[in-house]
């Protein structure tokens, strides 16, 4: 009996700052090179993999390598992947950014995944209309902001939930979400930007600065790692700023 292959996965690989497509990326599946179709919008499609879970390793010049494990039936098609700028990367001369060095005591936290949440109101998005659980659109103050597309955010009233803004309906004036809300959000709720930072072997990670929070003299972040939290109050980068965070 002939077995018909099925699409196992597709990724839309985007720059974490500009949200533009990353072209020319290299993708390994379970440590091996396999055939895939690359499109001009940064989408990479796999059509000949067996329907089992796989580990995907996505790399591109100037970015940190991302490793993602997806089940046999991924929830999203394509899966959005935001590539983080690598310390010393070729693109850092063109953007404002924080250069963060993380350590546990005196030991650099190499190859760690650290959640960063912006705590200041400037740079966060505010709901101008309530949204109920199950809805896939949000009305946000300020209208359309390209830099917020594909940005992960956590609601102030439900910090355990993460939403991803994947589109904007100009006629309705609403942002579209990747997944439906799991909790009711009242009018006035702040959506705080979230980043999943991957450190290099020296514990360094790059956090690009969204233009909105450059208007403030001080910026506050919360960093989470393995149940621990640290806060950082700092000036905005101009064009870059280095800071140390110790867990």
Q: What is the pLDDT of residue 214?
A: 63
Indicate the SS3 state at residue 146: helix
Closest CA to 12 of 55, 39, 42, 32: 42
* Distances, alpha carbon 192 to alpha carbons 81, 92, 188, 210, in Å: 19, 24, 12, 12
pTM of the model: 0.88
Q: At a CB cut-off of 8 Å and minimum separation 6, what does 32 contact? A: none
Answer yes or no: are the C-beta atoms of 157 and 186 closer than 8 Å: yes
pLDDT tens, 95-109?
899 999 999 999 999
pLDDT tens, 38-64?
999 999 999 888 888 999 999 999 999
Sheet strand arrangement including 66-70 = 32-33, 26-29, 54-59, 66-70
Alpha carbons 199 and 239: distance in angstroms, whole number: 21
Alpha carbons 109 and 102: distance in angstroms, whole number: 6
pLDDT tens, 199-227?
999 999 999 987 666 666 788 999 999 99
Domain range annotation of the chain: 9-83, 87-247
CATH class name, domain 9-83: mainly beta
Alpha carbons 97 and 208: distance in angstroms, whole number: 4
Q: At a CB cut-off of 8 Å and minimum separation 6, what does 157 contact? A: 183, 185, 186, 189
Give the CB-side neighbour count of residue 183, counting CA atoms within 13 A. Answer: 13
Q: At a CB cut-off of 8 Å and minimum separation 6, what does 129 contact? A: 139, 187
- Confidence tier at 4 by pLDDT (50, 70, 90): low
């Amino acid at each position: 009996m002939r077995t018909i292959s099925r699409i196992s996965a597709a990724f839309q690989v985007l720059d974490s700052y500009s949200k533009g497509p990353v072209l020319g990326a290299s993708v390994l599946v379970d440590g091996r090179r396999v055939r895939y179709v690359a499109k001009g919008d940064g989408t990479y499609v796999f059509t000949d993999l067996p329907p089992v879970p796989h580990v995907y390793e996505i790399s591109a010049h100037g970015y940190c390598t991302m490793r993602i494990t997806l089940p046999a039936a991924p929830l999203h098609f394509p899966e959005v992947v935001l590539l983080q700028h690598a310390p010393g990367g070729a693109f850092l001369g063109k953007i404002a950014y924080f250069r963060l060095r993380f350590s546990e005591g005196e030991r650099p936290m190499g190859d760690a995944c650290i959640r960063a949440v912006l705590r200041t109101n400037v740079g966060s998005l505010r709901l101008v209309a309530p949204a109920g659980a199950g809805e896939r659109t949000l009305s946000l103050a300020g209208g359309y902001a390209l830099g917020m597309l594909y940005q992960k955010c956590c609601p102030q009233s439900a910090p355990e939930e993460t939403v991803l803004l994947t589109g904007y309906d100009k006629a309705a004036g609403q942002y579209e979400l990747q997944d439906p809300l799991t909790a009711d959000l009242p009018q006035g709720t702040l959506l705080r930007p979230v980043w999943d930072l991957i450190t290099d072997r020296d514990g360094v990670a790059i956090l690009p600065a969204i233009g909105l929070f450059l208007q403030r003299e001080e910026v506050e972040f919360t960093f989470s790692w393995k149940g621990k939290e640290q806060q950082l109050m700092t000036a905005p980068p101009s064009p870059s700023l280095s800071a140390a965070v110790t867990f």
